[in-house]
Amino acid sequence: MRILVTGKNGQLGRSIQKLVNTDAKIDINQYSNDFIFIGRGELDLSSESSIGHYFNNNDKFDVIINCAAYTAVDRAEEEYELANQVNHLAVKQLAEIVKAQKAKLIHISTDYVFDGESNKSYTETDKTNPINIYGETKLAGEKALQVIMLTNAVIIRTSWMYSEYGNNFVNTMLRLGKERDELNVVSDQIGSPTYATDLAGAILEIIKNKGFKEISQATQIYHYSNKGEISWCDFAKEIFKIAKVDCKVDPITTQQYPTPAKRPKNTLMSKDKITEKFNIYVPDWKESLNACMSILKEQ
């Protein structure tokens, strides 16, 4: 199989590369020669012509994993056009290309398609109602994809992603914890963190799964994050506890921490559908946080 992965420099793209290159345990090395990782330099999703040019000048792919996205949640409030192009229109164009190539598409979406007003875990069929531009453009991407590809696509919504790479909550807390004795962190937003390596592993499991390989599987949405629930404030406390950083964390409300983009209060998502369909193990968030932080410690 020729498997194309976009967003090679992002958290998820790098995590997939890490597993493909190193992790014999999940037995994907049989595929390793067939993975092609590309970044913005090869394929600029903000440009319709760049997308067309890339696929016209490369052999057909069997699977495309779209990890690239416009992810600057606050900046998106000011950059609707760009966010919409990358998260919606480019996804639509990709879906058309993938369909024409009779290939399969794995696309990543977000918990921010929900408004966060539910008091239970969201399932894949729950009503979407994004409350910021990023969520709106990601939802538009999901919908466009579903209209074009009735079959052969998998959409995975994930949440609160962190990794060893780039800017994320864990890295930010570790940096701030060194600079300050005390920090205010929002305590009234609840969710489940996702270690990018776990999601990368889940994606590779899906590719290996017979159900995915079969032709004409209906396009489906799945939810994936780590198991368990936590607030940002308690997440920060756990990061400092593991790293043995002496920084006091004080809970504050969302109202006390205004941001350009609104954040949903509860984005817990049920993982039942993805675990049942693809037999995927979902580690607890604490177990995965420890795994990530022990790698960070070694670096």
Ligand X SMILES: NC(=O)c1ccc[n+]([C@@H]2O[C@H](COP(=O)([O-])OP(=O)(O)OC[C@H]3O[C@@H](n4cnc5c(N)ncnc54)[C@H](OP(=O)(O)O)[C@@H]3O)[C@@H](O)[C@H]2O)c1
Footprint of ligand X (CB under 6 A): 7, 9-13, 39-40, 43-46, 67-71, 86, 108, 110-111, 138, 158-161, 166
Nearer to ligand X, 71 or 152 (CB): 71
Q: How far is the CB of 129 from ligand X (least distance, A)?
A: 16
166: left (phi over 0), alpha (psi -120 to 50) or beta: left
Q: Are 267 and 114 in contact (CB under 8 A)?
A: yes
Q: How far is the CB of 40 from ligand X (least distance, A)?
A: 4
Q: How far is the CB of 143 from ligand X (least distance, A)?
A: 15
Q: Amino acid letter at 95?
A: A
Establish whether 257 is a catalytic residue.
no
Instruction: Choose between 84 and 210: whose C-beta lies nearer to ligand X.
Output: 84
Q: Which is nearer to ligand X, 85 or 152 (CB)?
A: 85
DSSP 184-208: EEE-S-EE--EEHHHHHHHHHHHHH
d(CA 188, CA 29): 42
Query: Are 235 and 85 within 8 A, CB to CB?
Result: no
- Three-state SS letters, 14-40: HHHHHHHHHCCCCCCHHHHHHEEECCC
Catalytic residue among 54, 70, 112, 134: 134
Nearer to ligand X, 111 or 164 (CB): 111
Alpha-carbon distance 99 to 151, whole Å? 9
Min. distance of Cβ 244 from ligand X in angstroms? 25
Positions marked active-site: 134
